[in-house]
Structure 1
Amino acid sequence: MERVGRREKNGEIAAALRVSERSVERWRRAWRERGDVGVLSRGSPGRPRLGPEQMDRLERRLERGPLAHRWADQRWTPARVVVATARPADHRA
């Protein structure tokens, strides 16, 4: 908000912070309407989509590591997590 206070342009702020100009516009409006409280983080906007049992199962599968799921390296990617989540409970990998 220091940049907004210095009257920097939305495009300059967006480029520096690697966000969209639209986000900067929303922040600027919230700051103008509600001050510092208006731009405080509200945390993650989403709720977990997995239930407690599904989350436990996923954690167990992730703890085994990608090699146990027959991937060639030890990297977890979002796509791999989706595959690990979607596999039936009786799947060995």
Structure 2
Amino acid sequence: MKAFIDRLYCMYNFGEERPSAWSSKMQDQSRKAVIVAVCEQEDKRDMGFAMEAMRMPLEALGYQVVGELPVLKTFGKGRVVDNPEVMEEACRLGVLLAKETC
């Protein structure tokens, strides 16, 4: 996600004066996103600001975040598939995202 955000820096318009106003070249393009964060902790508070760290840059660029999925108690590559509730919610959010972008 950080690499994605870093590469979007060129999508900002900055004014000449300092501190400057800024805007996004992607504003008003009806872009939608779903964010997902995975952690091994059992309490969402222990996830820290992972969700906000993804949501805020996307919203600043003009995206509308239509869904969020914090995945807790998951550790190890590929282990998310062992949680049918998470997989069902991920599928639901995928369908929602597809409908929102059509």
- Provide the TM-score with structure 1 as the length reference: 0.23
Structure having greater relative contact order (Cα 8 Å, sep ≥ 6): 2
- TM-score (norm. length: structure 2): 0.22
